[in-house]
Structure 1
C-alpha cells in the first residue's frame, strides 16, 4: 500500500497513521509529511493532490506549532522541486486562515452588539460581565442575546438557569 499510486491507498494510509500516531505529535508530523510528499511524487493529477491533501490535513490534525513547521516544510519542498501545486496549497492555507478570521470577526461583532444592548438597557456593565462576554464563544453570545430580550437584570441575561 505504501508504494501504491491509488488515491484510496493514500486515504487508507492516512487513516491508519491517524490511529497509530494518536497522542504522539512528532510521529504524526513525520507520517503526515511523508504522505504529503508522496502526493507530489506518485503522479497524482492536480485535483487529486488538492483533495487528498485536504483529507490528510483533516485526518492527521497537528497542534498549531507542528502544523506551522509542516506548512513551511511543504513550501520549501515545493519551491525546490518547482511543483505546480504551490498556489493550490497556499490557497488552501489562505482559506483556512480566512475561515478562522471570519469566525473571529463574527464573534467580535456579536460581543460588541450584546455589550451595546446591555449598556443601553442597564447602564454601565460591570467588569465580570465584560470579561465573560470577551471570553465567550458564539453559541453563548447568541444565547445571551436572546435572553436579553426579556431580561430584567444582568443576572437574567447570564444566569445558568434557563
Structure 2
C-alpha cells in the first residue's frame, strides 16, 4: 500500500506559480510588423547574396577566374538580373554572352 505525502500548502502554491511562469516563458512571442518586415528583407538579401555567390562559382567553373569588375557586377545585381544571367549561363559560349543585354 502506498503512502502519499503532500507538500505544505504554501509550497504547493509556489510550485503552481513556478509552473505557470515556465509555461508563460515558453509561449509564442508575437512580433511586430516592423520585425516581420525586417526579417523578410534580411531573408531576401541573404537569398540574393547566395544566388550571386552560386553564379560566381558556376561562371568561374565554366569560364575561369572572374575579374573584380565582374564579381562586383554580380554582387550589385538584383534578383531578376541574377536569374537572367543564370539562365544564359546554360547556353552561352563566352562570359560576354552571359552579360550581353541584346
Of 144, 151, 161, the residue aligned with 2:85 is 144
Higher relative contact order at CA 8 Å, sep ≥6: structure 1 or structure 2? Answer: 2
Displaced runs of 4+ in structure 1, greater than 3 A?
none
Match of 1:120 in 2: 61
- Report the TM-score, using the length of structure 2 for normalisation: 0.68
RMSD between aligned alpha carbons? 1.4
| Matching residue of 1:45 | none
Bigger Rg, which one: 2
Identify the match of residue 105 of structure 1 among 46, 59, 63. 46
Classify the secondary structure of the residue corresponding to 1:124: coil
Deviations 1:84-126 (A, max 9, x none): xxx86x5211101001001101100110110000010111011
- Number of equivalences: 74
Which runs of 5 or more residues in structure 1 are unaligned? 1-86
Match of 2:95 among 154, 157, 161: 154
Listed as ranges, the gaps of 5+ residues in structure 2 are: 1-28
* TM-score, normalised relative to structure 1: 0.44
